Amino acid sequence: MEEDIDDARERPGMDETVQSAGDTYRAESPGVAGTSDEPHPGRPFGVGIDVGGTGVKAAVVDLETGTLVSARVREKTPSPSTPDAVAQAVARIIGRIEESGHRTAQMPTGAGLPGVAKDGWLKTAANIDRSWLDVRAQDVLERHLQRPVLIINDADAAGLAEMRYGAGTGQHGVVLMLTIGTGIGSALFVDDRLVPNTELGHLEYHRRDAETLVSGAARERRKLGWKVWAKEFDGYLDHVYRYFSPDLVILGGGVSKETGRYLQYLTPRGPLKVARLLNSAGIVGAALAAAEAGGYRPPVSAGASEIVAEG
């Protein structure tokens, strides 16, 4: 997946920065709901963790609605982003959430990580230290958090959130979500069932990994204007349509907040929507994945967004 390129720019004027033990924590207002200092007794809640190349974020999620009921707390991804360093950052973030009055120990807890996730292991390490490949990621997080933790590919987590609560709600057939930020993540669904770990940001495009040319970070690194970038991204999008013939494509990640700058330059072969949950999607989906693994099933939502482009 990837998240937004510069998370601090996400909601100007809405952030509160807290200093603790020499580290800076950013308690951010979520993109899809307000926050509450007190959980609502009796409602199903989960903890969602989103580990990206630039930031580690977490919040408590209302699993009935897909909204955040705590502040979304963020810390910069440690450098180097080794398993223990990241897990320590996650533990600090969960501690901040609990200090605000949310008792999270008994909540299902999921973590979205940037890589292929299988049986608690990361099989690839995209935009994160390669030492994650040498340890069982799930065990490291569970040791630091002192609770069961389910790990999932971060783009798959975002896709789950959009399918259950956002732009993909009620959509059948083949749905593909692309998360465009530091890299390009993908989540593929067939008749509402996730096909995990697709990693379509690594499709070959002009003899290179696509995300090295047309991710949000690549646009900034290459100093491309939005129009030029959009035309290159459109070529990548055309490849995706040729390979998978999706009935719907959802654009998420940090670049989804800038659709007014580039959407008019895209020529998709079919319906295209912008993600509704924006940068909260990874958190929401990670919490949902953990809850569903324990048998929870969310209610059917009617919150799908409008088609913004169609071939």
81: Cβ contacts below 8 Å, ≥ 6 apart: 53, 128, 129
* Residue 243 to residue 254: CA distance in whole angstroms: 25
Query: Over pLDDT 90: what percentage of the chain?
Result: 77
Which two structure tokens, joined as six digits, stand for 42? 């009796």
Give the C-alpha separation, 247 to 190, whole Å. Answer: 10
Are 29 and 71 contacting, i.e. CB atoms less than 8 angstroms apart?
A: yes
Asked whether residue 311 carries a pLDDT value surpassing 90, the answer given is no
Using only the alpha carbons of the chain, give its radius of gyration. Answer: 18
pLDDT digits (tens, 9 = 90+) for 143-162: 999 999 999 999 999 999 99
| pLDDT at residue 227, rounded to an integer | 97
Over the stretch 110-140, which tens digit does the pLDDT of each residue have?
Answer: 999 999 999 999 999 978 999 999 999 999 9
Q: What is the DSSP string of 198-240?
A: --GGGSEETTEETHHHHSHHHHHHTT--HHHHHHHHHHHHHHH
pLDDT tens-digit profile of 167-190? Answer: 999 999 999 999 999 899 999 999
Asked if 186 and 201 count as a contact pair (C-beta separation under 8 A), the reply is yes
Residue 86 or residue 253, greater confidence:
86
Answer whether residue 49 shows pLDDT above 90: yes
235-269 tens-digit pLDDT: 999 999 999 999 999 999 989 889 999 999 999 99
Q: Does 223 score more than 70 pLDDT?
A: yes
pLDDT, tens digit, 9 for 90 and up, residues 14-45? 233 332 323 333 334 333 333 344 445 567 99
- Average pLDDT of 220-237? 97
Q: Which residue has the higher pLDDT, 32 or 78?
A: 78
Separation between Cα atoms, residue 272 and residue 266, nearest integer Å? 10
The full set of domains in the chain, from first to last, is: 7-157+280-293 (3.30.420.40), 170-278 (3.30.420.40)
